[in-house]
Amino acid sequence: MREKKKKMSVKMMMKREWPFYVMLLPSLILMAVFAYLPMAGIVMAFQDFVPSGGIRGFFTSRWVGLDHFKYIFGLADFRTVLGNTLIIAVAKIIAGILVPLVLALLLNEIRNVVFKKLTQTLVYIPYFLSWVILGGILIDVLSPTGGILNRALGAFGMEPVYFLGNPDTIRPVLVISDVWKGCGYNMVIFLAALTGIDQSQYEAAKVDGAGYIQQMLHITLPGILPQVVLVTVLGLGNILNAGFDQVFNLYSPIVYEKADIIDTFVYRLGMVNLQYSISTAVGLFKSVISFVLITTSFGLAKKFANYRIF
Amino acid sequence: MRAKQLTALLTAAAMITGMCACGSSGEPAGSGSKDGGAAAAGVETTESGEIVKQDPFFKYEEPVTITTFFEISPTLENFKESDPDEIYFFQQMKEETNISLDYLWYAAKTADDSVQKKSMAIASGELPDFMLVNSAQLGMLAKTDLINRDMGDIFEAYASDDLIEWTTCEGMGAIKSATYDGEMIAIPLVSGSIDNTPMLWIRRDWMNNLGLEMPETMEELYDVMLAFKNDDPDGNGVDDTTGLTIHNDFLSTGMSDVVGLFNGFGAYPGAWVEDGNGGLTYGSTTKEARQALEYLAKMYQDGLIRVDFSSVDGTAASEELIGGTSGLFYGKMFCGGWPLMYGAQNDPSADWVALPLPSATGEPARPQTAISIEAYAVVSAKCEHPEAIVRMLNYFIEKSTAEKEEYNRCLVSYDGTTTNFPLMYIMLRNDYALKNLNAHYACMEAVEKEDPSALSGEPLAYYEAIMKYQDGDIAGGYMGQKIFGDDMSSYTVIDYYHQNDLVLLDAFYGEPTETMGQKLTLITDAVMEYYTKVIMGTDSLDRFDEFVAECNALGLDQITEEVNAWYLEQ
| Parent domain of A197 | 77-304
pLDDT digits (tens, 9 = 90+) for A18-50: 899 999 999 999 999 998 988 888 898 898 888
DSSP code of residue A166? -
pTM, rounded to two decimals = 0.82
Which residues of chain B does A160 touch, with a Cβ-Cβ cutoff of 8 Å?
A: 307
Average pLDDT of span B226-231: 95
* Portion of chain B with pLDDT greater than 70, in percent: 91
In this predicted complex, what is the ipTM? 0.80
A179 within some domain:
yes
B140, A51: Cβ pair inside 8 Å? yes
What residue in B sits closest to A45 (Cα-Cα)? B20
What residue in A sits closest to B134 (Cα-Cα)? A272
Q: How many Å lie between the alpha carbon of B305 and the closest alpha carbon of chain A?
A: 12
Reported as a pLDDT band with limits 50, 70 and 90, residue B42 is: low
List chain B domain ranges: 48-194+375-400, 200-366+505-569
pLDDT digits (tens, 9 = 90+) for B266-317: 999 999 999 888 899 999 999 999 999 999 999 999 999 999 999 888 888 9
A234 at interface of B, judged by CB pairs closer than 8 A = no
Residue A285 sits in the same domain as residue A225: yes
B25, A55: Cβ pair inside 8 Å? yes
B23, A44: Cβ pair inside 8 Å? yes
Q: How many CB pairs under 8 A join A and B?
A: 169
Residue A149 sits in the same domain as residue A204: yes
B431 and B191 Cβ atoms separated by less than 8 Å: yes
Reported as a pLDDT band with limits 50, 70 and 90, residue A91 is: very high
Which residues of chain B does A51 touch, with a Cβ-Cβ cutoff of 8 Å?
A: 23, 122-125, 140, 144, 146
A310 within some domain:
no
Strands B183-184, B179-180: pairing is antiparallel
Given A63, A95, A113, the domain boundary residue is A63
What residue in A sits closest to B146 (Cα-Cα)? A52
Name the 3-class secondary structure at B184: strand
A218 within some domain:
yes
A221 within some domain:
yes
* Portion of chain A with pLDDT greater than 90, in percent: 36
Task: Assign domain B200-366+505-569 to its CATH superfamily.
Answer: Periplasmic binding protein-like II (3.40.190.10)
Asked if the domains at B48-194+375-400 and B200-366+505-569 fall in one CATH topology, the answer is yes
Residue A170 sits in the same domain as residue A96: yes
Residue A8 sits in the same domain as residue A103: no
A133 within some domain:
yes
**Cis preceding-peptide flag for B339 (omega within 30 of 0):** yes
- Residue B9 class from Cβ within 10 Å (0-12 exposed, 13-18 middle, 19+ buried)? exposed
Please list, in sequence order, all residues whose beta carbon lies within 8 angstroms of the beta carbon of residue A68, skipping any fewer than 6 positions away.
A45, A46, A277, A278, A280, A281
B15, A291: Cβ pair inside 8 Å? yes
Cα–Cα–Cα angle for B401, B403, B407, rounded to 5 degrees? 70
Strands B64-72, B99-108: pairing is parallel
Give the pLDDT confidence score for residue A8 in this predicted structure. 65
Residue A251 sits in the same domain as residue A180: yes
CA nearest B226: which of B304, B328, B296? B304
Within 10 angstroms of residue B171's Cβ, the number of other Cβ atoms is 12
The CATH class that applies to domain B48-194+375-400 reads alpha beta
Residue A13 sits in the same domain as residue A133: no
Which residues of chain A does B123 touch, with a Cβ-Cβ cutoff of 8 Å?
A: 51, 57, 274, 276
Residue A32 sits in the same domain as residue A103: no
Number of domains chain A is built from: 2
Choice between B1 and A278, residue whose per-residue pLDDT is larger = A278
What residue in A sits closest to B12 (Cα-Cα)? A291
Choice between B458 and B291, residue whose per-residue pLDDT is larger = B291
pLDDT at B2 over 60: no
Reported as a pLDDT band with limits 50, 70 and 90, residue A305 is: low
Residue A175 sits in the same domain as residue A34: no
Average pLDDT of span B376-400: 93
Residue A189 sits in the same domain as residue A281: yes
Average pLDDT of span B214-238: 95
B140, A287: Cβ pair inside 8 Å? no
B521, A272: Cβ pair inside 8 Å? yes
* Portion of chain A with pLDDT greater than 70, in percent: 93
Reported as a pLDDT band with limits 50, 70 and 90, residue A276 is: confident
Instruction: Give me the CATH number covering residue A96.
Output: 1.10.3720.10
| Cα gap B305→A145, rounded to integer Å | 12
Which residues of chain B does A39 touch, with a Cβ-Cβ cutoff of 8 Å?
A: 13, 16-17, 20
Question: What element of type H or E holds B378?
Answer: strand B373-379
Reported as a pLDDT band with limits 50, 70 and 90, residue B36 is: very low
At residue B464, φ and ψ (nearest 5 deg) are: -60, -40
pLDDT digits (tens, 9 = 90+) for B92-148: 999 999 999 999 999 887 766 788 888 888 888 889 999 999 888 898 898 888 999
